[in-house]
Every structure is written in structure tokens, then in C-alpha cells.
Chain A
């Protein structure tokens, strides 16, 4: 086992990147870039990585450089946040459609306007349909572990999709927590050598990336992407199991916390799951049958596992850290969709919290559980936690 050190989520991500020692990292070096790249650049300056570090003039260029590098056959990583991810948007789709296994650490922060640098999930949710695998981390330890999981999943030849490893801005990215680090050698063995499927630099087997693809073939390529996501759902448990062997920690697609005998469930992601666990413990001591379902893997979404877990529950509250203006927020939609075919479908209530870094307090969670138990919410309405009327 490795050593335990105090790290922020940003530092944990940078440390994982150092241990992976990717061939290429392309990133925009100015805000909204985070300390992930600051720390990684330091590693490069100190000669601790062999990585070609490409500092580009925008986030759009950062992802473009990653696409070029990954197509060339290089193990490629980057990091971004908030409006930076939004600026990448066009190329985020191109990376996934070209089936390039890029791993990107994303610090989830609010999108403008007005200008806000604090935590919410609107940045990553805007990329929901881009074709990237999306993993959400509760704390710095999960950030660190998830990056290895992401790399191995992305590079699996049945998958070959890029992966975003999400963490909550400031709450996780700047919060110092104990993180158990593995030895460099252990990581090296775990990730193995990267074998690209179609390396552009293999001049003996010339190929073309990104050609014109009209109505006669485009649809088939999209169908392949759907299949790759389904494969990711099958490959994920195997990779998670492999990682568990070296970390002694578990990485289920969905984490069931006091779920078995629970009647009232909160479903949420990232750091909010930590707060919810604290409240679940507290209410359990009072004999309340409450539990938490934490979603780790958001894309591909583990529909069947979620449905099985929520079948027959008395009430379910879904807590989203982003809005979808004009409809229910993303996680609530997923949970409702997953449960639709259940015969014993629970009522599902939607809550929005924490936009722009507004704190989610234990009192908010208690309010939700209490309301579920008293049957005082309306499934047709979104409730807002901590907003002023």
C-alpha cells in the first residue's frame, strides 16, 4: 500500500497525471484553468514527467491539440473547468466521434453569466450528449482513483471513448483531505502500455481521420458510438474490479449507502453525496429508514442498476446541481427515465441545489428526508434548496 498525504482534489488529479506520465498534455494555461495544470506544469518543469506539454491559446485549441495528438497515437490528457469546457464544446464532440481515448479532469464550476467561479454542474451537463464517458468524484481520493479507472476504460479497445473525471469546484478541488497514493510502479503496471487502434503516425498503414461523412454513412458512425457506450457499461465493472485489487477501494457505477432496508432515498452525485451520507448516519441513529444512492457513472447511465435499486421504495428525491431551463434537471430526468418501466415505481421528486457554489447544508438534506417521510412534495414541481424567494 502507498502513503497517505493531505491533498486537494486539484493536487490529487495532478499527482495521478504525473504517475500516468502521458505522452501529451495540451491545456490552456490561464483562467478558468485550475491548479491541476499549475501543479502538472510544475512537475514538467522539475523534470518529473516526460510529457510534451502544449500550452495553447484557448480551450478550443486545447481540445483540438488533444484530438490531433490522440489521433497520432499518443496517450493524451488535459484538464479544464466551467467556461473553458464550454469553449471546447465543438471539439469535445469531435474527440468522442473520432473515438479518441482522451482523459480530461474537469473541475465542475458554474457557467456565466453573471460571472461565477464556484461549484455547479452546468459545465459538464452541457457535454452530456457529446459522447464522452462521465465519472463523478465525491472527494480527492476518488478524483485520484477515478483518473486511472478512466484511462484504462477509455483505452479499452471495445470502448475507445474519451472520459471526463468530474470533481466539484472548490469544495473538492480546493478542499484538503487525506489521499492514499499508490506507488509509481504499481500505477505503471496497472495502466500498461497504450496501444492505439488507428495511430495516424503509423506511416506503413496510412489512414484518414475526420473525413466528410454524409447521409450515407454518418448515421452508422453514430450507431457505433451508441454501441461503444453500451460496451463501456460492460467493461466498466471489470476495470473497476482490477483497480480495486490495487487500492482496496470499490468503484461501483452506483454506490448504495444504507439502501437495502431504506424506504426514503436521496439520489445525488459528487460532494453532495458526502453531505448526504453524514445526514443519513444521523437520521439512522434516530431510527429513520433513509438511504443514499450516489451516481458515480453518469454516462453511460446505469439504467438497470438504478431501477433495481429504487424499485419499491416509498419515495425518492433527486438532487441536481444544475438546471435544465424549461424542463426537469438532468439527473432527475435520468432517474425518472430509469424507473418508468417499473411496476412498483416510487414517486420521484426533483430538487435543485447549490447553483453557483451555494452551500448545501445538512439542514437542507434533513428537510428533504423529512418532507419525503411526510409526503409533502409534488412530483410535478421542482423544489429549490437554499434559494431566496
Chain B
């Protein structure tokens, strides 16, 4: 899930960014220390998590809540807090370190 980071031999020198607008490619999910885990058994597709997520990271496909885009989710836990069915639990990110 985590983007492959370049080594020092592959990068432009001097901290120069040599392609404009590449902030788009920056995966801010790396900041996360807690990860939301969705239990689909409990989920009723009320979309509260989708509405409240400050990073537009809740994935909804054909009306069905599918999970969270970990490239951008920063683990704020709002989705878990607003879920009326307690279908989202926050787990320590260190548990998934091997991914």
C-alpha cells in the first residue's frame, strides 16, 4: 500500500522537484498512526463515514461502502466515532507494519 520511496541515487539533487504538480503523487497516508478497520457485517451503508471523512478517503462503489483509501487516510478516527453501528474500529498502525 505504501508508495515506494526513492533512494538517494535515483533522486534529483538539492531537494529540487523536477516535475511540476507532483504533490498529487504524494501519498499522505504515511502520516497515519491508527488505521480504520471496517466490519461489513455491521455496516448498514448509512454513509456517515463518507460524509464526515475530512480526506474523502472512504470508498463507496455502487452505493456500497467498501472500505478506506489508505493512501490518504490519516487515521483521525472520525469515521469510527460517527458510525451508528460501531462497524469501524481503529487499530494501531504498527500492527500492519509489514505491509
- Assess the B18–A220 pair: CB atoms within 8 A: no
The stretch of B8-16, B46-54, B60-68, B76-84 in contact with A is B8-16
A130 to chain B, nearest CB (A): 14
- Assess the B8–A220 pair: CB atoms within 8 A: yes
B6 in the interface, Cβ–Cβ < 8 Å? yes
The chain A residue sitting closest to B21, CB to CB, is: A206
- Assess the A224–B13 pair: CB atoms within 8 A: yes
B81 to chain A, nearest CB (A): 28
Q: Which of B's residues lie within 8 Å of A, judged by CB?
A: 5-8, 11-18, 20, 30
For A348-366 the 0/1 string (1 means CB < 8 A from B) is 0000000000000000000
The chain B residue sitting closest to A209, CB to CB, is: B16
Bound-complex Cα distance A206 to B21 (A): 10
**Selected contact of B16 from candidates A208, A216, A220, A223, CB within 8 Å:** A208
- Assess the A216–B30 pair: CB atoms within 8 A: yes
The chain B residue sitting closest to A99, CB to CB, is: B14
Bound-complex Cα distance A206 to B17 (A): 9
Known: A216-B30, A217-B5. A206 touches B11 (CB 8 A): no
Chain A interface residue count, Cβ-Cβ cutoff 8 angstroms = 23
- Assess the B7–A160 pair: CB atoms within 8 A: no
A162 to chain B, nearest CB (A): 11
A221 in the interface, Cβ–Cβ < 8 Å? yes
Query: Is the contact region of chain B dominated by helix, strand, or loop, or is it mixed?
Result: loop
Bound-complex Cα distance A221 to B11 (A): 8
Query: Is the contact region of chain A dominated by helix, strand, or loop, or is it mixed?
Result: loop
**Selected contact of A227 from candidates B6, B8, B17, B18, CB within 8 Å:** B8
Bound-complex Cα distance A223 to B8 (A): 7
Known: A206-B20, A207-B20, A208-B20. A220 touches B11 (CB 8 A): yes
Known: A208-B17, A211-B17. A198 touches B12 (CB 8 A): yes
Bound-complex Cα distance A373 to B81 (A): 80
- Assess the A97–B20 pair: CB atoms within 8 A: no
Q: Which residues of B contact A287 (CB under 8 A)?
A: none
Bound-complex Cα distance A203 to B16 (A): 15
Bound-complex Cα distance A146 to B38 (A): 66
- CB interface residues, A 89-141, toward B, < 8 Å: 97-100
The chain B residue sitting closest to A211, CB to CB, is: B17
A213 in the interface, Cβ–Cβ < 8 Å? yes
- Assess the B15–A213 pair: CB atoms within 8 A: yes
Q: Which residues of A contact B30 (CB under 8 A)?
A: 216
Bound-complex Cα distance A113 to B14 (A): 35
Bound-complex Cα distance A213 to B15 (A): 8
Known: A206-B20, A207-B20. A160 touches B8 (CB 8 A): no
A192 in the interface, Cβ–Cβ < 8 Å? no
